[in-house]
Every structure is written in C-alpha cells, then in structure tokens.
Amino acid sequence: MNTPVRPQHSGLPAQVWLASRSPRRLELLQTLGIQVEVFLAQNTPEAEALEAPFENEDPLLYVQRVTQLKLDTALNAMREQGLSGLVLAADTTVALHGVILGKPQGAAEAFDMLSSLSNTTHEVHTAVAGAWLNTHGATTTMTNTVQTSHVEFSTLPDTFIQAYISSGEPFDKAGAYGIQGIAGQYVRHISGSHSGIMGLPLFETSELMRHIQTVAQKSN
C-alpha cells in the first residue's frame, strides 16, 4: 500500500489560511497536501477596490503593494474573530512594456489587451505575502516574495479573440487570459514559473511557508 506524502514530510504546515478568492490558488496549494481554509475579509467590490493601481505605478511595486494590503486586511479581520495560524495572500499582474494590464472591464478592453499581447512577450508578476498570527493576536513573523515570468504569445487570430471574449473567460483575469485555459494553445514559450503565471508560484510559496513556520516555532 502506497503511503501519501504529507506536508510535514517536506517541512510544510499542515494547514494554512488563504486570503484569496482565486480557485486556482486554492487548487495549487491543495496539490501540496495542505489543508486550506479560505478566509475572505471583504466582499467582492471592496476587494476589487484594493487592487486599483496608482497612476503610472510600476507593475512590480504595484503587485507587492496590493498583496501586502490584502494580507494586512485579512490579519486585522482574523484578529477580530480570534483566529490564528499561517496566513497567505497573493496577487498577480500582467505587464506589457511597463504598463499594467488588469482585469478587463468590457469586451472592447479585453479585445485591446489580447491584441496587444499577440505575437509579443509580456511579464507576469505574482507576489505572495504571509504571516503567522498567534493565539494572542500578535504577528510573530511576516515575509513576502515576488516571482516574475516572461510569457511569449504567438499570433492570436481575431476570430479566436472574439470567441474567447464571448466565452467570458477573460473578464476575471489580469491581462484578459488564463494560461491554464484554452488561450494556452497560443503560448509559444514561458520563462519562469507556470504555477506563478496561474497565480501562485509553488516553489517560492513553499519556501516562504517553511520560513514562516520555522520562525514561528522558534518564537513559541
């Protein structure tokens, strides 16, 4: 009988709180065998407001700022509810020539985004921030990381773009596409982390969780 590989075998925590609505991040964390509890501190409009970029904001600084805001918001709400444990927050942004491509607000914007990505290479930045919240409501350790990948698209036919927009898939995704979906057929090359492009770089996130857990255990 095969014995399953459990989180503790690789130094990972058995359970974490995920401050994210993303089903992709949830699924990625669960592949590590970790029990994941989703914690949503805000409703959808309030959460979307946190992601508003400043004018001409650098994409790398933007994604780190937003991720920290998400973590801080979750920690404050968890303190109020008397919850504790390892908490993770993350954000992903797509950038082309230094310009942030967020979630499209309509079909025309989605078409423009996808057309601009056609036959070119863009960056995908995913930031992850985590903290250990103890039973007294104190944060014993907090850290963050960011992973950047480069994604090269081949030519996206207008017929595909229109059909893709009609499917509704682009509208909840930065850059108007998801690499794990049907748009992946036009990805010619990636340099970086496939899971990071999906929304949570597993290598960097695992290293971050191990560090947080180690520091938290030493402080107890």
Catalytic residue among 91, 112, 158, 172: 91
Q: What letter does residue 58 receive in the DSSP assignment?
A: -
Q: How far is CA 169 from each of CA 98, 176, 204, rounded to the nearest angstrom?
A: 24, 8, 27
Residue type, 147: Q
> CA separation (Å) from 195 to 6, 11, 59, 74, 202?
20, 20, 19, 23, 6
91 is catalytic: yes
Smallest CA-to-CA distance from 133 within 81, 182, 186, 198 is with 81
Task: For residue 149, give the H/E element and its range.
Answer: strand 139-153
Q: How far is CA 56 from CA 62, 97, 120, in A?
A: 10, 12, 22
In contact, 215 and 130? CB cutoff 8 Å:
no
Residue type, 16: V
Residues involved in catalysis: 91
